[in-house]
Structure 1
Amino acid sequence: MSDLVDLLREGLPEAAVVTDPEVTAAYRQDMAGFCASGNPAVLVFPDTVDQVRHVMRTATALRVPVVPQGARTGLSGAANAVDGCILLSLVRMNRILEIDPVNRIAVVEPGVVNAALSQAVGVHGLTYPPDPSSWESCTIGGNIGTASGGLCCVKYGTTSEYVLGLDVVLADGELLRTGRRTAKGVAGYDLTRLLVGSEGSLGIVVGATLALRPSPPPQLALAAEFPSTAAACAAVCAVMEAGFTPSLMELMDTVSVRAVNSLAQMGLPDSTAALLLIAFDTLDPVADLAAAGEICTAYGATEVVPAADSAESELLLQARRLSLTAMDTLGTTMVDDVAVPRSELAAMIDGVAAIAEQFDLTIGVVAHAGDGNTHPVVVFDASDPEETARARESFDAIMALGLELGGTITGEHGVGLLKREWLAREIGPVGVALQRRIKAAFDPLGLLNPGKVF
């Protein structure tokens, strides 16, 4: 321990190396439930690329595991400490290095907060579309680590589609540059895409070149109430089949709706089985909303409420933004992340309701309905071992249901600690073996975020 700390301090400011156990304990884990965390040996806060390289050279020399961290808003345990590790927090590397309106790119460090980047590029009439729910606090490095999504994915896609190039410190301290600044480029293997979503298991992202888009017009939203999830999901499919491209299409089941009503008294009827929110940021959002509203009515919506302006749109969307907070008021929560084909969305949500009944638990579902990404939220009493065990079993049942419906165990939260076993089931032994060989090529000593993903 003393050798490790002494060597780290040779290349880092003294204040950037923290050994106080009360402080390091506060950084042991992210926001995932059911995930163990170990006791770190030391916590470091580098603020330059050279300092990160020094950390990795030290870790390699002493064979010490390294767990990289951003804002720790993740929901898979990917940022959780392992015993004796160096916790490598990148939050102080938070500079926006370049905004290039001509080429529509931004070059940033990993600790830049998603909302701060959005604000900075907005001055130039540009936007960085990926918008995780935690966008006001999560960092770009963390977004890259888990290939984050968000509410706008139905139209604009996920983080992986906006990362053009990366600066990455490898396990031995070498600096790798991948990708490009150009709009196109196919030189060699696409290491950038490989690293996006690798959860810090292949290298430490210390810089990113990101694609930007012109800022869209303000979006307008509608809320449609349905008597069943099947009717709401049928309307989702019909809107997409009709050729529309909403900027947002979110769905809340009856459990989530009632929780939000209880928290914020939003006046939604308790009879609402599903609330569908649709938004457009097109040149004529009023016409698009009207057409989508007609489709909702045709598929059984009991009420369709379109917003007249952006302010009303935000009020309508407030229910969705409050959903996880509202579920948290019901007890300890475990947030799941299963994506299925859009056509199987109703089967997924109704299947989760059946699982809730089977295990005698409260489970609410919110979904990025436009791309089939569901977030079942399991509520349980963490002080009750038997109920906690049932919650864990329900989580596994939800995973299994998603795979049965042709889906994936994670649409945007990543694998981390939480879903290692399920990753193996999804990709099979050949896939696991190949991915392990890739991991070994980047990190032969197995020092980077050990125990995560596999």
Structure 2
Amino acid sequence: MTVLAPVLDELAAGLPADAVLTDPASTEAYRHDEANFCPSGTPLAVVRPTATEQVQHVLRVASAHRVPVVPQGSRTGLSGAANAVDGGIVLSLSRMDQIVEINPVDQVAVVEPGVLNAVLSRAVLEQGLYYPPDPSSWELSTIGGNLATNAGGLCCVKYGVTTDFVRALEVVMASGEILRTGRRTAKGVAGYDLTRLIVGSEGTLGVITQATLGLKPAPEAALTMAAAFTTAADALTAVTKIMAAGLQPSMCEFLDGVTVRAIQDYRDMGLPTGVGALLLTQSDRGPRAAADVEAMGVICGELGALDVAVASDATESAMLMEARRIVHFAVEKLGSTLIDDVAVPRSRLVDLLDGITVIAQEHGVTVCCPGHVGDGNMHPTVIFDRGDPAAVERAQKAFDAIMRLGLALGGTITGEHGVGVLKRDWLATELGELSTRLHRDIKKAFDPLGILNPGKVLAAG
């Protein structure tokens, strides 16, 4: 402990009295994110800064003593990217939660990383503006965490993912220096795009302490449609036809039969449980929304939908949205989960679901598969008994087989959850040798001592 005492003393010297936690009873909650099956260590301390200058101080101390630093938001991640490492500093940014500015003329918001997604969304809506990225965890997840993983959400099928709305960043480097990337303007192509490089880097290149985010005018009134199908294949075929018809839904979500039943068991949402799949679509084009969802409904009917229903008002639409948002909590009630995050071209969605069915049978596991089907980003979730070693082994093999399938179909191992620890060993398979080498070179340029979130994203090499 005498070796570590100087680190703690130096941290405390430049921080408020309540910013540093060392008591194991207090630090335990910070050891891992929602991927609690991924390895996590015991931190030396948890530091909770409230200002950029305090983050700089932490990183200067960490660099001087070569102590690892793991940035954290509200720990809603699903890949272990925020998991602590032994003897490291967990840098919790949840108390940096100020909305610095909302500017309706420039259509930007300037925020600190601890701002919750839903809080920002509601704040800009009050000024007639819209921040589209909305992960299912939007009531709990922070903007900083969304930036770290380049999160998507329910509306990304029409509006895009987090990086599409990031104009500029303030980033504290491993050395404690401040890097400012991007610009406030809507256009700007001077130099390499360091902003997009940092978004999605999962805390391995720097610590984001402020972000300038682009906004859109608030959307018009929306209508939501639900279509029930006998088979998942019919629902997925309907999606490909809806998108090919140019209808551009503002939401297009898929729930397989297992997921629908799990939601209904978790909370009575009035969902039909004797179905093979449920498709939820939405149009936010105001007076044109009715025609949009009617056209979507016609396509679903032509493909044998058992029932097509359009929400009669905003309350019913919100209920259907809520049904999709609680999937994670509902499925957790079924057992331990390994949540995959593969994305494939829409034309290969049926092949993906058929392949997942075969994998589940071969490995003797249950796999449910909700997802943002409009952009091909699916979340196959392997359900298993964590107390049974044989079941754990089967689950891991099924998980790996699903990722292998996703790549074989021309897809990716992660569409929005990030790599973290969970998929670290698969990243090189997707990237290839040259790209992996360039990733390592970039990491070394930003973090020469290797103290920022070590062991995440890139495997040792």
| TM-score of the superposed pair, with normalisation by structure 1 | 0.98
Query: For residues 266 and 97 of structure 2, what CA distance do their matches in structure 1 show?
Result: 35
AA paired with 2:373?
A
Q: What is the correspondence of 1:360-379 to structure 2 with a 5 Å cutoff?
A: 360-379=364-383
- Residue of structure 2 equivalent to 1:32: 35
- Residue of structure 2 equivalent to 1:58: 61
- Does 2:262 match 1:259? yes
Q: Compute the displacement of 1:34 (Å).
A: 3.2
Query: For residues 50 and 267 of structure 1, what CA distance do their matches in structure 2 show?
Result: 50
Q: What is the correspondence of 1:347-366 to structure 2 with a 5 Å cutoff?
A: 347-366=351-370
Residue 251 of structure 1 aligns to a residue whose secondary structure is: strand
Query: For residues 320 and 346 of structure 1, what CA distance do their matches in structure 2 show?
Result: 21
- Residue of structure 2 equivalent to 1:406: 410
- Does 2:412 match 1:396? no
Give the superposed CA RMSD: 1.1
Q: Compute the displacement of 1:219 (Å).
A: 1.5
Q: What is the correspondence of 1:48-447 to structure 2 with a 5 Å cutoff?
A: 48-266=51-269, 268-283=271-286, 284-447=288-451
AA paired with 1:232?
A
Query: Which deviates more, 355-364 or 307-316?
Result: 307-316
Aligned-pair identity in percent equals 58
Structure-2 change in CA distance of 1:168 and 1:324 (3 Å): same
Structure-2 change in CA distance of 1:206 and 1:268 (3 Å): closer
Query: For residues 210 and 264 of structure 1, what CA distance do their matches in structure 2 show?
Result: 35
Can you list the C-alpha shifts for 1:147-172, whole angstroms capped at 9, x where unaligned? 00000010010000001000000000
Residue 15 of structure 1 aligns to a residue whose secondary structure is: coil
AA paired with 2:79?
S
Question: Which stretches of structure 1, 4 residues or longer, exceed 4 Å deviation after superposition?
Answer: 265-270
Can you list the C-alpha shifts for 1:217-253, whole angstroms capped at 9, x where unaligned? 1221111111211111111011111111101000111
Paired residues of 1:409 and 1:422 also in contact (CA < 8 A)? yes
- Does 2:50 match 1:47? yes
Q: Compute the displacement of 1:269 (Å).
A: 4.4
Query: For residues 111 and 381 of structure 1, what CA distance do their matches in structure 2 show?
Result: 34
AA paired with 1:214?
P
Residue 14 of structure 1 aligns to a residue whose secondary structure is: coil
Query: For residues 341 and 250 of structure 1, what CA distance do their matches in structure 2 show?
Result: 15
Paired residues of 1:33 and 1:334 also in contact (CA < 8 A)? no
Residue 400 of structure 1 aligns to a residue whose secondary structure is: helix
AA paired with 1:70?
G
Paired residues of 1:11 and 1:54 also in contact (CA < 8 A)? yes
Query: For residues 43 and 177 of structure 1, what CA distance do their matches in structure 2 show?
Result: 26
Residue 386 of structure 2 aligns to a residue whose secondary structure is: coil
Structure-2 change in CA distance of 1:300 and 1:33 (3 Å): farther
AA paired with 2:320?
L
Q: Compute the displacement of 1:306 (Å).
A: 1.2
Figure out how many residues of one structure are paired with residues of the other and give that number: 454
Paired residues of 2:137 and 2:325 also in contact (CA < 8 A)? no
Q: Compute the displacement of 1:268 (Å).
A: 4.3
Q: Compute the displacement of 1:10 (Å).
A: 1.4
Query: For residues 135 and 147 of structure 2, what CA distance do their matches in structure 1 show?
Result: 11
AA paired with 2:157?
V
Gaps of 5+ in 2: none
